Amino acid sequence: MKKIIIFASGSGSNAENIISYFSANKEVVFPCILSNKADAYVKVRAEKLGVPFKYFTKEEWKNGDILRFLKEENADLIVLAGFLLKVPEDIIKAFPNKIINIHPSLLPKHGGKGMYGMHVHEAVVADKDKESGISIHYVNENLDEGAIIFQAKVEVKPTDTPEDVAHNVHALEYEYFPKVIESLL
């Protein structure tokens, strides 16, 4: 039995996609979805999917409560799916090469502090990039700098808006993120 714990800060569409992908696989369980936002829409998705939702405070994130929880759950893989906080070093050290993140660009381009969601897609268009995509990577102590596990690309046309890029990148996320998770298990 493999346990995957998902962290999400927003709508949770990737979390829902991942859980749905594994719904017929009895060897994979999701003990909970954790979020730093009590009112994140991912809570609604978790309830719909029958997966427990756990909100945590910044204090619990920093003081070791979440680390203790993760150790008690004995997570095989920790998946950041639209999670916007930097992971503390004590959690990274406790779960080496067991924490992965998905980023909506071809890292190392458009990564780091402040580069999430539409900010990334706006930067891709502003820089007139000819391609964008997704990067699935291990989490280390530096934002978006962990070893890359997988990348997929999509063409960016000169007429594309940030919304167009976002739409195309989301399609890659939904297609590949669950498959990469499955390969890591």
Q: Give CA 183 to chain center in angstroms.
A: 16
Pairing type for strands 131-138 and 148-155 reads antiparallel
How many other β-carbons are positioned within 10 Å of the β-carbon of residue 27?
A: 8
In contact, 76 and 182? CB cutoff 8 Å: no
Residue 110 annotated among the catalytic residues of the structure: no
Catalytic residue among 103, 110, 121, 137: 103
Name residues whose C-beta falls within 8 Å of residue 146's C-beta, 6 or more positions apart in sequence: 101, 137, 138, 139, 140
Report, as residue numbers or ranges, the catalytic residues.
103
